[in-house]
Each structure stands twice: as structure tokens, then as C-alpha cells.
Amino acid sequence: MRIQHLNHSTYQHQYHIVWGTKGRRKFLKPYVKSELLESLYDTVKKYPTLSIVAVNTDADHVHLQIEIPPNIAVADAVQHLKANASGHLRRKFKFIREMYLDKDGIWGVGYFSSTVGLNEVNIRKYIEWQGKKEKPQTITLFNYKNKKA
């Protein structure tokens, strides 16, 4: 994890963010995913203090590892990412527009958020495994080799 600087602060904030499609509909196919990624990276370009570390999807949800500075609320960052992606995907794909005729967007309400901390590598591996048929058997969160019994 890299240490970042603002005018009056130094920080190291990474979050693991997860949100799902409304109704858990499975429309995040590879061709939709590529447009979603484009939208997420375009949104981050508008906010240069945000930085995407890893992103992946399963058919009905998005996993994102992202650096968010302390002057931007996590809820605000997620709101911008979800809103811009929703608009982009609705404009790009007619079937998504028709699937969600209401104006409330394509994402479910809310999101999951956790700080990454010392298991950054494990969370990045977990995100990379999203969407694959075979999931990893275990994810080791701590190294117990050096612990005495």
C-alpha cells in the first residue's frame, strides 16, 4: 500500500467495496464488464485523489479495491461510482434500459465496505478470483508460521 499526501495530511486508506445489481440480476457479462470498467476508470479520472487498485465482477456484483483520501467520504465515492456506471451502462445497453424501466438505477441499495489494512494482498487475490468457476479453497488472512505454541 502506498502512502499518499494531501496539503495537510498523509494517509494510507484502502477499502474493499462490494455492491450488487438490483434484484441480483446476472447481467455483468464480459462485454458489459468491459464497459463497466471503462465507466469506473472514467469516474476516477474526475477525482484524481481516488485510485482503483483492483476491480472485478461476478455476474451480479462488483468488487473494488480502492484508495479513498480522508477528505472524501466512502459513501460519496461509492455514490459517484455507482451513479456514473449506472448511467453509462443504461445508455450503452438497451437490454439493461429495458430490464430497469424505473429511474432508480441498476444497482441494489447500499454496499459493503471494509478497510483493507494488512491483508491487502489477500483481498486483491480474492477480487481477482471473482467470476471464475473454481473458487480458491482457503484464503489465509494471517501468517501463523512465526507464532509459538
As a three-state string, the secondary structure of the chain is CCCEEECCEEECCEEEEEEEEHHHCCCCCHHHHHHHHHHHHHHHHHCCCCEEEEEEEECCEEEEEEECCCCCCHHHHHHHHHHHHHHHHHHHCHHHHHHCCCCCCCECCCCEEEECHHHHHHHHHHHHHCCCCCCCCCCCCCCCCCCCC
pLDDT for 142 beyond 50: no
Q: Confidence class of residue 5 from pLDDT cuts 50, 70 and 90?
A: confident
Residue-range definition of the domain harbouring residue 39: 4-129
pLDDT in tens, 99-138: 887 767 899 999 999 998 767 778 888 888 887 765 554 4
Residue 83 forms part of a structural domain: yes
Residue 38 forms part of a structural domain: yes
Domain tally, the chain: 1
pLDDT in tens, 38-96: 999 999 999 988 999 999 999 999 999 999 999 999 999 999 999 999 999 999 999 99
